[in-house]
């Protein structure tokens, strides 16, 4: 039997190569390749319109806006966050010299559980960093109410939440700042890339200084900045991809519908349905396997799929709180994180992208449905 092609968890949305070449020619002709060039300015403006946000600063990846947001807000001491995320979330806190404090998640969204936040607040707490995991909005109202009560800043890691809206409004406008990742594996990508969404022009100015070494002019440095600017090549690529992202999200939605129909009656396999009032981006399709009911453990199913070149991923296993830099913290104890610990042992993110065919989906589902 001939070997079938691997089906990966995701596949990047790529712009038309001829169109991209045309823009590359313009960059070559202009000889302006980075440092707030013309494509960079255009992409910032187009993204503000598309995402319905007032101000955005582009970055070279999705980790640096997290680092920069904490710097810009002068966060110190302890930051409450979720263990159920990509490790960059927690690393950004640690790199700012702050201590991450892990709080358990809600099963219904995989986001931080607001009921558990207050117990984790100490006199050293200065901020909360929740994650809209898989693009599913956190309980933003309750998180903000707690932040207001204790005078805490809120920085949303919205790496997965490109284009996600609740009641017609972007989730990116919540909290003090929100970050995005435009990595190749995301719904919308600029190869590598990211962004920070802020509410006012003054703050954007400050962020733009910080991402350019702190320079506020040729000879003045106003803060301990870093270099995290997006270059013209990626901004041009991003402008082209923005034209196709709606179509890609529609295709992802179709994939989600197909998965849900096929898995609805499979005992022991849970998945998310759409949330009322939410415009989803279908960035991931996690399933949660209950070994007793399904008859196979999550890892049994994961490796069964892998053997057949279906390369789902166990995002987010292991929990960040179990990694060596963080596992000694009191808040990392599994007893403090029962839901996250269980979910991390149940999850498989099935392949989810715009390029999946019916043949691919049948190949995947035939192995899961029993
Ligand atoms: N916050 C959150 C909540 C995040 O999820 C992330 C990143 C960040 C912050 C930080 O943002 P960035 O600094 O990365 O912009 C991937 C991504 O590298 C990472 O961006 C992402 N989250 C994380 C969840 O997943 P890996 O190590 O699992 O990716 P990798 O290289 O194994 O790729 C997965 C699959 O995607 C491959 O099997 C095939 C496909 N792929 C990947 C790449 C890179 C392609 O088809 N083409 C490609 O070019 O981390």
Which atom of ligand 1 has the smallest separation from the CA of 192?
15
Mutating to test ligand 1, I would choose from 6, 86, 112 the residue with most ligand atoms within 8 A of its C-beta, which is 86
Tokens of 69: 């947001």
Q: What is the CA(10)–ligand 1 centre distance, in A?
A: 9
Per-residue model confidence as pLDDT tens digits over 247-304: 999 999 999 999 999 999 999 999 999 999 999 999 999 999 999 999 999 999 999 9
Q: Which of 212, 242, 272 is the last residue of a domain?
A: 242
Domain extent for 265:
7-11+245-368
Rounded to an integer, what distance in angstroms lies between the CA atom of residue 18 and that of residue 20? 5
Mutating to test ligand 1, I would choose from 93, 179, 180, 183 the residue with most ligand atoms within 8 A of its C-beta, which is 183
Averaged over 235-243, what is the pLDDT?
98
The percent of residues in the chain predicted with pLDDT above 70, rounded, is: 99
Q: Are residues 212 and 287 in the same domain?
A: no
Closest CA to 69 of 96, 49, 91: 96
Place of tokens 């929990």: 319
Q: How many domains does the chain have?
A: 2
Q: What is the pTM of this model?
A: 0.98
Q: Are residues 113 and 125 in the same domain?
A: yes
The mean pLDDT value of the chain amounts to: 97
pLDDT band at 3 (very low <50, low <70, confident <90, very high): low
Closest CA to 268 of 292, 246, 252: 292
The DSSP code sequence of 9-51 is S-------HHHHHHHHHHHHHHT--SSS-HHHHHHHHHHHHHH
The DSSP symbol for 114 reads: H
Q: Are residues 236 and 255 in the same domain?
A: no
Beta strands 153-157 and 125-129 are parallel
Q: What is the CA(18)–ligand 1 centre distance, in A?
A: 26
Domain membership of residue 316 (yes or no) is yes
Give the per-residue pLDDT at 4.
Answer: 76
Q: Are residues 139 and 45 in the same domain?
A: yes
Q: Which of 213, 242, 271 is the last residue of a domain?
A: 242
Give the per-residue pLDDT at 278.
Answer: 98
Give the per-residue pLDDT at 370.
Answer: 86
Averaged over 8-22, what is the pLDDT?
98
Provide the CATH number for the domain around residue 336.
3.90.1150.10
Q: Are residues 235 and 257 in the same domain?
A: no
SS3 call for 310? strand
Domain membership of residue 347 (yes or no) is yes
Domain membership of residue 1 (yes or no) is no
Q: Is 43 exposed, middle or buried (0-12, 13-18, 19+ CB in 10 A)?
A: buried
Give the per-residue pLDDT at 309.
Answer: 97
The DSSP code sequence of 194-257 is EEEEESSHHHHHHHHHHTBTTBSSSS-B-S---B-PPPHHHHHHHHHHHTTHHHHHHHHHHHHH
Per-residue model confidence as pLDDT tens digits over 30-44: 999 999 999 999 999
Averaged over 326-333, what is the pLDDT?
97
Name all residues whose Cβ lies below 6 A of ligand 1. 8-12, 61-63, 85-86, 88-89, 131, 157, 159-160, 181, 183-185, 194, 311, 313, 315
Averaged over 306-318, what is the pLDDT?
98
Rounded to an integer, what distance in angstroms lies between the CA atom of residue 349 and that of residue 29? 43
């Amino acid at each position: 039997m001939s070997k079938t092609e691997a089906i990966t968890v995701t596949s990047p949305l790529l712009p038309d190569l001829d169109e991209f070449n045309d823009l590359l020619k313009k960059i070559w002709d202009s000889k302006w390749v980075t440092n707030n060039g013309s494509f960079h300015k255009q992409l910032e403006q187009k993204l503000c319109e598309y995402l319905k946000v007032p101000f955005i600063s582009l970055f070279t990846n999705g980790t640096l806006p997290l680092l920069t947001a904490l710097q810009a807000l002068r966060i110190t001491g302890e930051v409450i966050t979720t263990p159920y995320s990509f490790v960059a979330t927690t690393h950004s806190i640690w790199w700012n010299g702050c201590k991450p404090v892990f709080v358990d998640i809600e099963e219904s969204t995989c986001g931080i559980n607001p009921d558990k936040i207050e117990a984790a607040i100490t006199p050293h707490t200065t901020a909360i960093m929740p994650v809209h995991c898989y693009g599913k909005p956190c309980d933003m109202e309750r998180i903000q109410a707690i932040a207001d009560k204790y005078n805490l800043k809120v920085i949303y890691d919205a790496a997965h939440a490109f284009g996600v809206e609740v009641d017609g409004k972007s989730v990116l406008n919540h909290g003090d700042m929100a970050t995005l990742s435009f990595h190749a594996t995301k719904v919308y990508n600029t190869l590598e890339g990211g962004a920070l969404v802020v509410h006012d022009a003054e703050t954007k100015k400050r962020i733009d200084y910080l991402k350019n070494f702190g320079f506020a002019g040729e000879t003045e440095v106003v803060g301990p900045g870093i270099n995290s600017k997006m270059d013209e090549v990626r901004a041009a690529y991003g402008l082209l991809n923005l034209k196709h992202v709606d179509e890609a999200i529609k295709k992802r939605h179709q994939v989600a519908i197909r998965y849900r129909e096929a898995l609805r009656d499979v005992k022991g396999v849970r998945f998310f349905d759409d949330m009322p009032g939410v415009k989803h981006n279908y960035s991931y399709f996690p399933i949660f396997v209950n070994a007793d009911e399904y008859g196979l453990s999550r890892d049994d199913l994961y490796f069964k799929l892998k053997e057949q070149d279906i390369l789902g991923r166990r995002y987010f296993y292991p929990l960040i709180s179990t990694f060596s830099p963080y596992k000694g913290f009191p808040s990392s104890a599994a007893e403090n994180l029962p839901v996250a610990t269980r979910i991390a042992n149940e999850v498989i993110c099935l392949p989810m992208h715009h390029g999946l065919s019916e043949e691919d989906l049948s190949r995947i589902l035939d192995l899961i449905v029993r």
